[in-house]
């Protein structure tokens, strides 16, 4: 009688894929921790309750197919790097804490993203090392499609299980490809106005959403102030900050807003790695009183000057040139980390806040009826414990202000200004201000 043979064990990969961090990502492992998590969130709200089993299966399927998201962070002698993970995908759980908390990779199978759900909402959170907002949108959109195909098998019968044509798999370091040598320092180090005040208890994360019509806001911004939607909403934040802090906002402590700019359209890139840089909108008071229209014009001119291909190229080229310098390359990682952290803390004092606009979310027509809206959050950072995010889908725009402070006068001022301009604004919060 022949002996029954055991099935062979699957062979572990002999060589795991690895890749360098992009230039922007180099700073995030240095400064990240419980207080400054560098973990952003993008959420999709469906028109139906989320089935956690289907969501877990969608995460399992997608993680092995999406380059860049099945990677863990490793530290080398000179630089951090990313290495492929050969472990199961992160576990999906019902949301039970504040957004944008630090991701402990060791407790997450090494992965630097998490997926949670609550009611009709799916939350995707990622450590900024692996992707910026555009790369995160790339992943969440495909995750949503995969989930909906599992929840509605007729979709998979009709569409198959392939990726959308607009989904990128590219992992190019577009900073390294497009930088120009010899650029001068474009970073500001002089102090800006910074928020202060009583904090929410237990490291609270206050959320206030202003929900409005895209077409209505676009009309007001263009016809009343000759602004884009982005310029108008940044100006509303700046004006509300100025009005709420008349003694704090001065010529020596101006309001400066960092506005992340997606560099892909300027440099013909489709990378899912980080590829953005900051444009600065600045309001320096030169007299005792300003109207909103005056502040709006100052912000418009400030952003118009900052957001040009030439200025954006100068900004990121200086940073890339420094990291590519021979001396920087041969300095051991611990010494590099000390220098980068010192420079970051110096630079952090020069901006009041960050406001990011992830734009109007594009969704394939077959999936649109299942989706209600999208929104996003930014985590707090040094000197910036109040930030704004903008996202839209169909004709619904979500202007979200996150804050660590009890006082809500800035948020009230923002939405009061928008309402006074004639827009219908509905407000939602996460309830922490009422505790």
Residue 339 has what pLDDT? 84
SS3 18: strand
Long-range CB contact pairs, 418-423, < 8 A, 24+: 418/210, 418/212, 418/217, 418/220, 418/236, 421/220, 421/224, 422/216, 422/220, 423/212, 423/213, 423/216, 423/217, 423/220
Structure tokens at 49: 């309750």
How far apart, in whole angstroms, are the C-alpha atoms of residue 43 and residue 122?
A: 6
Instruction: Show pLDDT as tens, one digit a residue, over the chain (435 residues).
Output: 444 445 444 445 555 789 999 989 999 999 999 999 999 999 999 999 999 999 999 999 999 999 899 999 998 888 899 999 999 999 999 999 999 999 999 999 999 999 999 999 999 999 999 999 999 999 999 999 999 999 999 999 999 999 999 999 999 999 999 998 877 766 667 999 999 999 999 889 999 999 999 999 999 999 999 999 999 999 999 999 999 999 999 999 999 999 999 999 999 999 999 999 999 999 999 998 999 999 999 999 999 999 999 999 999 998 887 676 545 566 788 887 888 888 888 888 999 999 999 999 999 999 999 999 999 999 999 999 999 999 999 999 999 999 999 999 999 999 999 999 999 999 999 989 887
Residue 328 has what pLDDT? 59
SS3 348: helix
Cα dihedral 157→159→161→162 (10° resolution): 160
Pairing of strands 93-94, 113-118: parallel
Q: Tell me 120's DSSP state.
A: T
What is the gyration radius of the CA atoms in the chain, in angstroms?
Answer: 23
- Is the separation of the CB atoms in 123 and 98 below 8 Å? no
Residue 203 has what pLDDT? 87
Residue 14 has what pLDDT? 54
Q: What is the pTM of this model?
A: 0.93
Sign, Cα dihedral of 294, 296, 297, 299: positive
102: β partners: none
107: β partners: none
- Burial zone of 369 (CB within 10 Å; 0-12 exposed, 13-18 middle, 19+ buried): exposed
Which residues, other chains included, contact 204 with Cβ-Cβ below 8 Å and sequence gap of 6+?
98, 404, 432
DSSP for 310-334, please give it.
HHHHHHHHHHHHHHHSHHHHHS-HH
How far apart, in whole angstroms, are the C-alpha atoms of residue 266 and residue 271?
A: 13
> Which phi and psi (to 5°) does residue 422 adopt?
105, 5
Residue 5 has what pLDDT? 47
DSSP for 207-221, please give it.
EEEEEEEHHHHHHHH
């Amino acid at each position: 009688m022949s002996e029954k043979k055991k099935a062979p064990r699957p062979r572990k990969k002999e060589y795991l894929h690895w890749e360098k961090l992009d230039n922007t990502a180099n700073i995030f492992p240095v400064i990240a921790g419980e207080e400054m998590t560098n973990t952003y969130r993008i959420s999709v709200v469906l028109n139906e309750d989320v089935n956690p089993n289907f969501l877990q299966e969608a995460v399992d399927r997608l993680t092995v197919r999406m380059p860049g998201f099945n990677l863990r962070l490793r530290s080398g002698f000179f630089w951090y790097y990313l290495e492929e993970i050969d472990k199961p995908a992160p576990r999906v759980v019902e949301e039970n804490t504040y957004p944008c908390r630090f991701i402990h990779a060791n407790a997450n199978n090494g992965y630097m993203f998490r997926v949670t759900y609550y009611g009709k909402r799916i939350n995707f959170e990622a450590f900024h090392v692996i992707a910026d907002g555009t790369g995160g949108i790339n992943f969440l959109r495909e995750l949503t499609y995969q989930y909906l195909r599992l929840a509605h098998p007729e979709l998979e019968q009709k569409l198959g299980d392939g990726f959308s044509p607009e989904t990128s798999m590219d992992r190019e370091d577009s900073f390294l490809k497009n930088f120009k040598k010899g650029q001068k320092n474009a970073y500001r180090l002089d102090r800006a106005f910074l928020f202060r005040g009583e904090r929410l208890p237990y490291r609270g994360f206050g959320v206030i959403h202003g929900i409005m019509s895209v077409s209505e806001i676009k009309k007001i911004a263009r016809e009343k102030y000759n602004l884009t939607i982005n310029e108008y909403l940044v100006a509303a934040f700046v004006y509300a900050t100025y009005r709420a802090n008349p003694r704090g906002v001065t010529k020596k402590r101006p309001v400066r807003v960092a506005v992340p700019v997606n560099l892909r359209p300027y440099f013909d890139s489709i990378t899912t790695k980080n590829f953005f840089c900051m444009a600065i909108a600045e309001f320096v008071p030169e007299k005792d009183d300003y109207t909103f229209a005056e502040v709006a014009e100052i912000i418009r001119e400030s952003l118009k000057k900052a957001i040009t291909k030439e200025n954006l190229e100068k900004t990121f080229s200086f940073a890339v040139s420094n990291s590519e310098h021979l001396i920087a390359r041969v300095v051991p990682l611990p010494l590099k980390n000390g220098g980068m952290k010192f420079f970051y803390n110096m630079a952090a004092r020069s901006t009041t806040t960050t406001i990011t606009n992830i734009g109007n979310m594009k969704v394939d027509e077959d999936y649109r009826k299942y989706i209600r809206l999208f929104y996003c959050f930014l985590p707090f950072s040094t000197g910036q414990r109040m930030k704004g995010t903008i996202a839209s889908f169909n004709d619904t725009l979500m202007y979200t202000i996150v804050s660590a402070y009890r006082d809500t006068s800035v948020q009230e001022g923002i939405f009061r200004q928008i309402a006074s301009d004639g827009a219908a604004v509905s407000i939602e919060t996460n309830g922490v201000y009422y505790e």
